[in-house]
Amino acid sequence: MTTVVEQGLFYLSALLAIAGALGTVASKSAIRAAMSLLVAIFGITGLYVTLSAQLLAAIQVMVYAGAVVVLFVFVIMLLGGQPDVKSDNRSLKARAVGVGLFALSAIVAAVLVARAGIGGPHIFDAPRPEFGSVAALGKVMFTDGVVAFELVGVLLTAAIVGVMAVARTRNVKAAAKDKEVTQ
Amino acid sequence: MTSIPLEFYLIVAAVIFVIGACGFLARRNALIALMSIELMLNAVNLTLVGFNRWYGDHHVGQMFAFFIIAVAAAEAAVGLAIVVALFRLKRTVRTDSVDLLKY
């Protein structure tokens, strides 16, 4: 790929990722935030492609765009539109403390990065032909990471059981009673 | 892909992480707080993949990113189940109306 194409892909993806992230945290409505999250995820997918991590880019699209964002949208639709009440009861002092802590941590981070002395730009070497391929990543995942891989399966099973335990209705009568009380 | 230095990726990842952290701390909608967590996990993944591209003789960073994606999916599922249960109880998804354990 030529330099112009890869630079264009990088800057477009970075712009999408950052704009999507800003849209996610700044949107008034949850559904707009979910759509912005989708934009951010596609931007990060483009960045993975420029880093020659093709398998991760595919997994990112499948898992995030295909599952996580759909789950978010599903829950937003299930819960209905929330009226955005402006009842923010945090005091001015609490806000000032928050902004101050944020500025302090930003300064500390900048000082630490400056002291570390990163040195000139780290230009990547050309990747090996099999870098990021399914075979290469699968090999490391089933040798060095095989225990973690199996444990991820256990984690996902536990998460599914946990979701069913948390979100199910205990019984119909109690649910009806709950509804009566809240209304 | 050899024309973009590593630092650019790290800067993009840091910006996304800070945006996600600010969103998580500032927003009072539980759904948007969960989305901010997803943003932060994605930023970490981008850092891992970028460093893995720099140390290109193995794939351990990409393997970690794969596991983080799995954990993020589990976290989103459980978090959304908690939001649904919370909505059943309180008829709202705003986190400042859930302060029973605060006092």
ipTM given for this complex: 0.92
Of all residues in chain B, the one with the smallest CA distance to A146 is B63
Residue A38: name the closest of A59, A19, A12 by CA.
A19
pLDDT for position B79: 93
In this predicted structure, what is the pLDDT of residue A9? 92
pLDDT score, position B18: 92
pLDDT value at A129 more than 90? no
**Best mean pLDDT range from A81-85, A112-116, B28-32:** B28-32
pLDDT (mean) for A113-128? 77
Across the interface, do A148 and B67 touch by the CB < 8 Å criterion?
yes
Where do the domains of chain B lie? Answer: 6-91
> 3-state class of B96 per DSSP?
helix
- pTM for the structure as a whole: 0.87
Contact state of A79 with B93 under an 8 Å Cβ cutoff: yes
Cβ neighbours of A49 (radius 10 Å): 20
Fold (topology level) of B6-91: Helix Hairpins (1.10.287)
Band of pLDDT at residue A171, cut at 50, 70 and 90: low
Give me the pLDDT at residue A181, please: 62
DSSP B27-55: --BHHHHHHHHHHHHHHHHHHHHHHHHHS
Q: Are the beta carbons of B74 and A156 separated by less than 8 Å?
A: yes
Burial of A31 (0-12, 13-18, 19+ CB in 10 A): middle
A76-81 mean pLDDT: 82
Closest residue in A to B76 (Cα) is: A68
How distant is the Cα of B101 from the closest Cα of chain A, in angstroms?
18
Question: Which residue of A4, A68, A84 is the best one to mutate when testing the B interface, meaning the one whose CB has the most B CBs within 10 A?
Answer: A68
Q: Which of B32, B77, B91 sits opposite A71 (nearest CB)?
A: B77
B94-103 residue pLDDT tens = 888 887 777 7
B11-23 in b/e burial notation, b at 16+ Cβ within 10 A?
ebbebbbbbbbbb
pLDDT above 70 covers what percent of chain A?
86
Residue B13, pLDDT > 90, answer yes
Q: Is A71 on the interface with B (CB under 8 A)?
A: yes
